[in-house]
Structure 1
Amino acid sequence: MASEQAWWRDKAVWIFKYQKFVHILEKFASVARKYSYLRRLKAQIAGRPLVAIILSEQIGDIIACEPVAREVRKRHPNGHIIWLVREAYAELVRHHPDLNGYLVEKCPSERIYLLKTGVFDVVYNMHISHRKCKYCPEDPVNPTADQIGLTFDNYYHRGDILYMFSQAAGLPPITADPKMHIPDYVKQRINSLHLPDSPIVIHCQSSHVARDWPAANWNRLVKWLLETYPFPVIEIGLFPTVTIEHPNFQSLCGQLSLLETAEVIHRAQLFIGIDSGPAHMANAGNTPGIILLGQLYDFVDYLPYSGRYKRGENITILNDYGHPCAELPYHWVENAAQKQLGEPQFA
């Protein structure tokens, strides 16, 4: 048994080493290709400044920081502005009217080499220092974020995502409402699904288990909603949590792109979810919401959202301070839903 475990351990180590070697080779090839592309681009734009906005991940961070593109456009009306982003999140910036394009970032280390070339005339980097690639030795540093003392240990203590990340980029603190830019073809795709009008949309799982609420509570909540109101309920996200079978319940988990998810949320009469990318979509789409928060690491009293949700407009934030989201009392969520939806319509 011990020898078998050692074999599997050694195999995992060698697989990681192989993946690391391939990744680093591909990274340097990618740097060369992108630098060549950017040099050609600079020649094409004929003296206009080449401006980079850098925030490559996550879904909620990119949506929250959408107003940065508008602010940078005001500062560089003649600039050629591109957003550096990971491929998985590119559609969030692809259709922004104040951007001239985007550049897919392979990893933070690749970004370091591109910035060292000096190919960009102006850079607005919203990343906090020391978010490294798991394969690369280089340590990304943002001197502007360091200068204002912004770290992963304190950023939620100091304000919402947009407020702090805009300062990390060297901009004044921005407080504008985020917006989603959804093209017509996405809306037509959602039309083709023939979804019910004005649903309640729920999102139950985040990328971090510490943000989640128990599956039993979600199933109980959906059962109560279906028994109490005539409104359809739709679950969105990557993986389903609700197991109820009911003609008025539908799961779209794993079936939608990011922008399609945003469009479904935009059409909802109410969004109920944990702190995650779809919650930021609801904020940006002017959808009334109920957001379930809880202690995250050392962050107890925090609010990630700017704009409408920060102002408290059509939003209920539930947080049992000092307790994780998993311990949020069930009846708090039910009561908040009843306040949003009105008196029960079924006996």
Structure 2
Amino acid sequence: MTGININGSPKEPDKGPTFREVWSYRYDKINHILERYRSFAAKYRQLKRIKKSIGNRPLVAIILSEQMGDIIACEPVAREVRQRHPDGYIIWVVREAFVDLVKYNPNLDGYLIEKCPGERVQLLQSGIYDKVYNLHISHRKCKYCPDDPINPTADQIGLTFDNYYHRGDLLYIFSQAAGLPALTADPKMYIPDSVRERVQSLAIPSGPIVIHCQSSHVLRDWPADNWNRLVKWLIATYPYPIIEVGLTPTVAEQHPQFRSLCGQLSLLETADVIRQARLFIGIDSGPAHMANAMNTDAILLLGKLYDFVDYLPYSGRYKRGEGITILNDFGHPCAELPYEWVQEAVQKQLGASKLV
């Protein structure tokens, strides 16, 4: 039956996926699952070799494979697990994109790259690990695999994607999901000399203002027009260099005082640039967690995220209110945060105009 719009014209029937789209998805699904089983077999053999080489030492897995901010925030878990298992062979299970966030952690003996949540389920069911600290919330599935990842500890304390930000910051809640005490420590990032040398070669002027404008979720973002307006005002008001970091540039300003490093830095290089900042201005994102871990003063723009209104993802220094200004027009998304609030916060942080 053909529907009728309110203006009386015939309503176009909903169009489902095309034949090509259906078969393309099925092809990708079959290939993914076959590759997952190959990947599982290779990793299982790798872990068996490790267990043979470490003798009586327990093989301990910390599982938090994504996202960037979650992994940075939960770095203290590695320190806690090392205290509990001083002789353990401790690995962090992580997606390939985030390997550098755990690769240089001195509390870990290694890492394991996770292909997908389905592979994680398979490895857990194999019993290869002697002890597991699973920080994930249940039911975040792979788009291809039928396996439903379950974390019984998270389920036991009633932790879900619908309520987790009501329980506290990321470290506080995910440490409990792993069966640990509610941790509150300051996160750290471990940056090798090779990364610092690469950043030094960029000849970044001393004490820049570093901004990050786009997150992985549009609900966390502030409008591009506001960012461009803010940068113009910063240039007109202060002598400090301004650097934008992230994947995709938002600011279109062409001025010697402004420089975009978007898409040019690794994760650890981004963290080292933020470490050098006199002020970080950004939305709720991975780089904001970097600023917290690098002890950089910050102005962070937050807003309503689904049903979460008054939430704070950060532990440690930012949770204690040290070196941090949080701007949140409660009940409104970040996109509706008044521009004037941000400008006033910068003035309070940096003082009156420094231009002569």
Counterpart mapping for 1:78-117 below 5 A: 78-117=87-126
TM-score normalised per structure 1? 0.98
Give the whole-Å Cα distance in 2 for the aligned partners of 1:6 and 1:168.
Answer: 41
SS of equivalent to 1:84: strand
Letter of the structure 1 residue corresponding to residue 332 of structure 2:
H
Structure 2 residue 261 is matched with structure 1 residue 290: no
Q: Which residue of 2 aligns with 1:49?
A: 58
Q: Which residue of 2 aligns with 1:127?
A: 136
Question: Structure 1's 8 and 126: CA in aligned 2 closer, same or farther, altered over 3 A?
Answer: closer
Q: Which residue of 1 aligns with 2:40?
A: 31
Structure 2: stretches of 5+ with no match in the other structure: 1-13
Letter of the structure 2 residue corresponding to residue 115 of structure 1:
L
Q: Kindly provide the CA deviation profile for residues 204-243 of structure 1, in whole angstroms up to 9, marking residues without a partner as x.
A: 0000000000000000000000000000000000000000
Structure 2 residue 331 is matched with structure 1 residue 322: yes
Structure 2 residue 240 is matched with structure 1 residue 231: yes
Structure 2 residue 23 is matched with structure 1 residue 14: yes
SS of equivalent to 1:312: coil
Identity %: 71
Q: Which residue of 1 aligns with 2:217?
A: 208
Structure 2 residue 275 is matched with structure 1 residue 266: yes
Query: How much does 1:346 deviate?
Result: 2.7
Give the whole-Å Cα distance in 2 for the aligned partners of 1:10 and 1:202.
Answer: 44
Structure 2 residue 273 is matched with structure 1 residue 252: no
SS of equivalent to 2:18: helix
Letter of the structure 2 residue corresponding to residue 209 of structure 1:
V
Structure 1: stretches of 5+ with no match in the other structure: none
Q: Kindly provide the CA deviation profile for residues 283-322 of structure 1, in whole angstroms up to 9, marking residues without a partner as x.
A: 0000000000000000000000000000000100000000
Give the whole-Å Cα distance in 2 for the aligned partners of 1:270 and 1:30.
Answer: 43
Aligned-residue Cα RMSD (Å) equals: 1.1
Structure 2 residue 346 is matched with structure 1 residue 337: yes
Give the whole-Å Cα distance in 2 for the aligned partners of 1:308 and 1:207.
Answer: 24
Aligned counterpart in structure 2 of residue 67 of structure 1, from 68, 71, 76: 76
Q: Kindly provide the CA deviation profile for residues 232-285 of structure 1, in whole angstroms up to 9, marking residues without a partner as x.
A: 000000000000110000000000000000000001100000000000000000
Q: Give aligned pairs, total.
A: 343
Give the whole-Å Cα distance in 2 for the aligned partners of 1:192 and 1:232.
Answer: 17
Q: Kindly provide the CA deviation profile for residues 41-75 of structure 1, in whole angstroms up to 9, marking residues without a partner as x.
A: 10000110000000000000000000000000000
TM-score normalised per structure 2? 0.95
